[in-house]
Amino acid sequence: MLAAVVVAGSLTAGVPTASAQPPPPTSEGCQPALSAPELVMLANGAKAVRARLTMATCSPDSQPTEVVVCLEAANGRSECEKLPGWNNVHVIMAATPPGGAFTATGQVCWFDTLKTFNTGCRAADPITVTF
């Protein structure tokens, strides 16, 4: 049995939840850049799936506070990785079941340092790939 590899930060289960508030205009806050799930080989030869999320841009008055990326397998198993600020984050999980679908999700959060002093988060559109 292959365990998920934690590269940095703490590992949590689940997928980022949607906020009850409408998303901020795209000119405000930060913009996520989510990669599609990709098949990778681990050092031991086992197949795994990886997804990455980066902070694409932030408006001049926004300071990034958190980047979260999650992978969910068709069987409901999920892994998430969260790091602070401008960090690039990725999550890796075993590619089981073979030939199954994997969905990457994520979000970026920020603090408005000049105008409102509020916090905000923006989710990336989910990306599903079947291997």
Per residue in 30-89, pLDDT (tens digit) is 999 999 999 999 999 999 999 999 989 999 999 999 999 999 999 999 999 999 999 999
Q: Distance of CA 55 to CAs 5, 76, 86, 98, Å?
A: 22, 27, 6, 31
As a whole number of angstroms, the distance between CA 104 and CA 102 comes to 7
| pLDDT at residue 120 is higher than 90 | yes
> CA-CA-CA-CA torsion for 109, 113, 114, 116, nearest 10 degrees?
60
The whole-model pTM stands at 0.77
Is the distance from CB of 62 to CB of 113 less than 8 angstroms?
Answer: yes
| Residue-level pLDDT at 4 | 41
**DSSP letter string over 49-98?**
EEEEEEEEEE-TTEEEEEEEEEEEETTS-EEEEEEETT--EEEEEE--ST
Q: pLDDT digits over 9-33, tens only?
A: 333 344 444 445 666 666 789 999 9
Q: Is 1 exposed, middle or buried (0-12, 13-18, 19+ CB in 10 A)?
A: exposed
What pLDDT score was predicted for residue 117? 86
Query: Mind listing the domains of the chain with CATH numbers?
Result: 27-125 (2.60.40)
